[in-house]
Amino acid sequence: MKWLVGALAALLLVGCEPQEDAPQGFAGLGQSFDAQAGQAGFAQPAPGDRIQLPRDLGPHPRYRIEWWYLTANLTTAGGDPLGLQWTQFRQGLKPHPPDADPPPPETWPMQSVWMAHAAVSRPNDHHFTERLARGGIGHAGATAAPFAVWLDDWSLTATEDGDWRLHVQAGDWGYDLTLTPRSEAIHHGDHGFSAKSSSGEGSMYFSFVDLTIHGTVTVNGETLDVQGSGWFDREWSSQFLRSDQQGWDWMALQLDSGERVMAFRLREEQGAFLAGTWISAFGEVVPLTGDDFTLQPLEQQSFATGTVPSRWRLTIPSREVEIEVDAMAGNFWNTGLYPYWESPVTVSGSHSGRGYLELTGYAE
């Protein structure tokens, strides 16, 4: 996801006066992490930081980049599989203390920019839309209590009974869904600090890994009743990918055994950095390092946008896991400002299940 956020500044800074400390998005990868964050005055997560809920469901204006991210594996009333994705990104242009009064909207403040993505995926059928907004004038934002994230008329909001309501309308397709968290949030890495390189850079990262979902999805002019399960990620940082990191391979899997696993691989010039999280059926959370598991691409697919590894093998010897992860049949490139791959997947082998796969840095 980090690869996408830089597109916001590049687009929405057009027409503004040049600033020496204006973020370069991910075109500025040659700068050091600390220089990028520190020169602009942004805070940076570090080991020892802790997640606090519900506060951290809301925005983090002291940090440069963050996102709210839902993937869902659903089934129609007719028994057909359907996947969907919704993501909202914020990129800070100037740090802002959370307890300080924001600038008046009538001054058209330029402290943050926002981007939202929505997609619906079925076998050989994919719909994607991207929206952008300037922060600080009411078109986009987020709050922690009550929990709400919105960009124009797209929104994820908490209801009085503790559920979440997700509404997206994108031309002739969209969805209106009710999401119910079934378990407490999972904190990844070191109590929520998720390292993204061997040199220690990272982000704060937590997830709700068991959402039950029901509602309607409209696609190709047909409104479908759906139900299933989802995975919701929340992440923030002030650091961009390191200059020798070329992209991100990420998967979140809900196994039929009741176990859950998140695993990612950051591709580097010399090898890759791996990390993940194992969640037992009883809720035990076990951080995974590159010594604990392997993540190997098995098969590639080529499209006009680029070639992606759409089939993977994941092994976790300590958990007796040896599985293959296969993307749904079709072309699932999200062709926004920064194209990336986002696909529902099925799991087979020592365990069965389903989940989602995200691949960045493969676009030609």
**Predicted confidence band of residue 239 (pLDDT cuts 50, 70, 90):** confident
**Predicted confidence band of residue 41 (pLDDT cuts 50, 70, 90):** confident
Q: How far is 183 from 181, CA to CA, in rounded Å?
A: 6
3-state SS string for 220-283: CCEEEEEEEEEEEEEEEECCCCCCCEEEEEEEEEEECCCCEEEEEEEEECCEEEEEEEEECCCC
pLDDT higher than 70, residue 318: yes
**Predicted confidence band of residue 138 (pLDDT cuts 50, 70, 90):** confident
- Looking at the DSSP bridge assignments, the partners of residue 316 are 321
**pLDDT for 153-205, tens place per residue?**
999 999 999 999 999 999 899 999 999 999 999 999 999 999 998 888 899 99
Region 336-344: mean pLDDT is: 95
Higher pLDDT, 11 or 82: 82
Domains of the chain: 2-13+31-359 (2.40.370.10)
**pLDDT for 253-278, tens place per residue?**
999 999 999 999 999 888 899 999 99
pLDDT of residue 249: 96
Q: How far is 287 from 174, CA to CA, in rounded Å?
A: 36
The kind and range of the H/E element at 183 are: none
Cβ atoms of 346 and 253 closer than 8 Å = no
Cβ atoms of 84 and 334 closer than 8 Å = no
Poorest-confidence range of 22-31, 69-78, 304-313? 22-31
Q: What pTM, to 2 d.p., does this model score?
A: 0.89
pLDDT of residue 286: 98
Q: How many CB atoms lie within 10 A of CB 260?
A: 24
**pLDDT for 92-109, tens place per residue?**
888 876 666 666 665 555
Q: How far is 202 from 94, CA to CA, in rounded Å?
A: 20
pLDDT of residue 76: 98
pLDDT of residue 245: 82
Tokens of 121: 């995926």
pLDDT of residue 22: 35
User: Residues in the chain, how many?
Assistant: 364
pLDDT of residue 13: 41
pLDDT of residue 134: 85
Region 121-149: mean pLDDT is: 92
pLDDT higher than 90, residue 6: no
The kind and range of the H/E element at 339 are: none
**Predicted confidence band of residue 20 (pLDDT cuts 50, 70, 90):** very low
